[in-house]
A = this chain, B = another copy of it.
Amino acid sequence: MSRRARIHYPPLRDKVTDAGTAAAHIQDGTNLFISGFTSGYPKLVPRELVRRAQAGEEFKVNLFAGASTGESVDGILAEAGVVAWRRPYMSDRTMRRLINDNQIRFKDDHLSMLSGQVRAGNWGPVDVAIVEAVAITEDGNLIPTMSVGNTPTYVKKADKIIIEITHEPEELYGLHDIFIPEDPPYRMPIPIYRAADRIGKPHIDMDPSRVVAILFSEEEDCCAVFTPPDQAARRIAEHILDFVRHEISKKRLPASLPWQSGVGDVANAVLSGFLEDDFYHNLDIYSEVLQDSVLDLIDMGTVRVASGSAMTLSYKGRQRFFNELYRYKDKIVLRPVEISNSPEVIRRLGVIAINTAIEVDIYGHVNSTHVMGSQLMNGIGGSGDFLRNGALTFIVTPSTAKGDRISAIVPMVSHVDHNEHSVDIIVTEHGLVDTRPLTPRQVAEQVITTCAHPDYREMLWEYYQRAIHANGGHEPHDLSEVFAMHQRFLRTGSMRKDC
């Protein structure tokens, strides 16, 4: 069937054009809002913008996405030097370098708060929205691809809309649940009572008169590559599953709370851990990004339903998902990120949240974003939305990084994204500390002796004792040497003393 047939609203068929014509709507200073949230980002127009830059045209755009996009958007646009501003979360190597060099302006946001800010006009006019879609409905509305993110709001507010129609199956129709809440002071409750409740429409409402160009795309998202979980990730997953099993058995936790698991290998390992564990069944997932492991868990019958804002699948995962869409569509729902990450809903459902840290300090404060306090890694993403509102919150990290030259447990984190009150449980491969019934000093003692890598325990313990001696207090610190480990790393390439 011709791709043209995917434009079920005939008046829009005239808008089919080429990338050059479409991209002509984007000029120096354009506020460019794109779909995409680890997946589902447009590919053709970004490439055309790069072509123009390489041909010598001088221009810069302000680039706003749902969250991270692939190398094929953030990477090439950054490389081409055409990005003035970028918001929010990104994870591309080149873009990261340029942000840290102050060549690209970047601001991070809690993902749940972002669509509302755009609707309030705080981000300036939405000049152009570029959206990846599988089809346009008979009424001129949009069916997105593998992510929702902020696309509904971007489409709602855009002066001009460009659509890239892909060849992913049109049967994605029915996967999405699109609901834009009213803004304060007229907002009403978000009526999700169980993880998979559907409260919206299967399409994104669109005013067809604002569509300026439609392209047909043969491109695919860069597929995710998952490495099998390493020993540390497996140990972390075991600690978590053991702990939750124990809490449920002791009736301290209801058996049916939904789970959220962040991005990255450890997060994936936790979900894989369910596969080998026959205690858990009939699980609900209320998360942000759904990865391959969710398909496995659905196939096993361990997961009943999964809600998120995007799916990031491996090449094999994609094939499998598309082949049996009819089956997965009953079990998976993709929502706007302001809904998947809504504090209201997360707290109502009582989500068990698991997110990864760069470093954690002895009192339980967490750095998720800035290496050695200054260099941005990716961004806070949705981690704050889930940590701050979950019913039981885990922060996980391998106890060391860079071949044990860095301890992920430090006296004070060099940047704070989540403070001690947002973190219930701290987990490394060495063990787990439930901070809830402990004073800060008790937390410090247990984190040092349980979570820290054995090679760093003495160093941390000595710091803690000196801090008590020097200043005492509720969270004893000695500010004169609180970052000595970080400074040693910056000087010598290792936090160890013998280097």
Q: Which residues of A does B touch, CB under 8 Å?
A: 99-102, 105-110, 116-117, 120-123, 183-185, 187-191, 193-194, 252-254, 256-258, 343-344, 347-350, 365, 370, 372-376, 380, 384, 388-389, 391, 412, 414-419, 421, 436-442, 467, 471-477, 479-480, 482-483, 486-487, 490
Contact = CB atoms under 8 A, between A and B. Distances in A.
A201 B54 CA distance: 68
A421 B108 contact: yes
20 contacts: A102-B439, A102-B472, A105-B439, A121-B252, A122-B437, A184-B391, A185-B258, A187-B348, A187-B349, A189-B189, A189-B191, A189-B348, A372-B479, A373-B475, A373-B479, A374-B474, A375-B473, A380-B421, A480-B483, A480-B487
Contacts of A414: 477, 479
Contact of A107 (B415, B438, B487): B438
Q: Which 9 pairs between the two chains have the least Cβ-Cβ distance?
A: A184-B350, A374-B473, A189-B189, A416-B416, A376-B474, A344-B344, A479-B483, A343-B343, A375-B473
A257 to B, nearest CB: 6
Given A252-B120, A437-B122, A421 B110 contact: yes
A285 to B, nearest CB: 13
Contact of A256 (B185, B373, B442): B185
Contacts of A416: 365, 416, 419
A348 B474 contact: no
Contacts of A185: 194, 254, 256-258, 349-350
A191 B190 CA distance: 11
Contact of A473 (B188, B344, B370, B440): B370
Contacts of A257: 184-185
Nearest to A443: B107
A296 B344 CA distance: 33
Contacts of A254: 183-185
Contacts of A442: 105
A91 B183 CA distance: 36
Contacts of A439: 102, 105-107
Given A373-B479, A472-B101, A193 B183 contact: no
Nearest to A187: B348
A477 B441 contact: no
Nearest to A471: B374
Looking at A256, A391, A472, the one whose CB has the most chain B CB atoms below 10 A away is A391
A374 B337 CA distance: 37
A365 B369 CA distance: 14
A132 B134 CA distance: 63
A67 to B, nearest CB: 14
